[in-house]
Amino acid sequence: TTAYSEVSEEMEKLPAADYAGVVEDGVNDAIRKHLTRQILVGTGEADNIVGIFSSNAKAIDPATDKEIAKIDENTLDEIIFSYGGDEDVEDVAVLILNKADLKEYAMLRHPDGRKVYEVKTNGNTGTINSVPYIINSVCSSITNGEAGEYCMAYGPLSNYTLATFSPLEIMKSTDYRFKQGMIAHKGSVFTGGNVTSYNGFLRVKKAVGTGE
């Protein structure tokens, strides 16, 4: 995994600035965002780990994928009770989803106006009826996504293994954009990842033929 950033010469010359910290934080944040995306949609090809939604996640039987047309009062139960992973896993299962679908859960009402789901938020995490969730924008959306696309994943996070084969290395170059007065930094770390428990995640698709 590689992250690239540029800063001006002026930043490096500021005596009170935590220059090294600013650069390292920026690179770390970029790599973290890249990896969280790859954990879902990485193809397993060159420079990619194997994502949960990938056809190369061989530990997941595609026949177990769940198709849902719209979010309603039964959706959460359908997902939870359709999950058929390893019963011996002690970790709590989480729901990974798009923010648009989280909003749909939160906005859904019974005919008398009562909320169907109790949604509690804490940044990009929280709970839906006590079920933990994580927002990841790389997920498509049942609410407004395309039919056939993966929208959610449900399972214990420990069922995905991310291995780091080298420490984060940050390299600096003053040559590439010398004329513009910019200093280039490239951070790289060698990682691998894959679903390592059989049917460790239930994958949810938007049902084909339902429209948007």
Q: What is the pLDDT of residues 56-102, one digit of tens each?
A: 999 999 999 999 999 999 999 999 999 986 555 557 899 999 999 99
Strand partners, 153: 96, 203
Q: Which residues contact 117 (CB under 8 A, 6 or more apart)?
A: 76, 105, 106, 108, 128, 129
* Angstrom distance (rounded) from CA 199 to CA 141: 22
pLDDT score, position 180: 58
pLDDT given at position 100: 97
Sheet containing 2-8: order of strands: 2-8, 182-188, 169-173
Residues 6+ apart with CB under 8 A from 88: none
d(CA 4, CA 187) in angstroms, rounded, equals 6
**Rounded to 5 degrees, what are φ and ψ at 31?**
-70, -40
pLDDT of residue 210: 45
Predicted local confidence at residue 202, as pLDDT:
96
- Ranges of residues in the chain with a pLDDT under 70 are 1-24, 85-90, 176-181, 209-212
pLDDT of 29 reads 77
Identify residue 122 by its one-letter amino acid code.
N
Residues with Cβ within 8 Å of 184's Cβ and at least 6 positions away in sequence, in order, are 4, 5, 6, 172, 173, 174, 176, 177
**What average pLDDT does the structure give for the chain?**
85
